Amino acid sequence: MQLKKYADTDFFLALMKESDWLKEKAKKIYQENKGNIWVTPFTIVELMIICKRENIPMKETIFQISRMVNLDSFEWEVLFATVDYIEQGATIFDSLLMSFCGKENSIISSDKVYAKFGFNVLDLKK
């Protein structure tokens, strides 16, 4: 069974922006993992907040993401695990992503917080 790769917000931002210092690495990771990249509903909510704040077309953004990645659902245990990560100092959105992902899968991100919690990270900066 192939393990899932969960995309963080910065992965999508790198792909969406006309120029971004992480863009080439994000494109490469996307091509190498096409069909096995997952997103949580909460990552989508975070992107919606950014779209609203930056006046980026929200519906088009979500439509494009829906064509690129798989959307995962969740159980209550995910939210309980999220609270544990928050209590250990992670942000709400980072905690939600870690809870969805589980230690057996990978997170696509440039954020260093995930490695601090022992997650396998496909680092956009390397």
Q: What is the pLDDT of residues 30-81, one digit of tens each?
A: 999 999 999 999 999 999 999 999 999 999 999 999 999 999 887 889 899 9
Cα separation, 104 vs 55, whole angstroms: 36
Domains and CATH numbers, the chain: 5-123 (3.40.50.1010)
Q: What is the pTM assigned to this prediction?
A: 0.79
Are the beta carbons of 103 and 81 closer than 8 angstroms? no
CB atoms within 10 A of CB 33: 18
Q: What is the pLDDT of residues 90-125, one digit of tens each?
A: 999 999 999 989 999 999 999 999 999 999 999 999
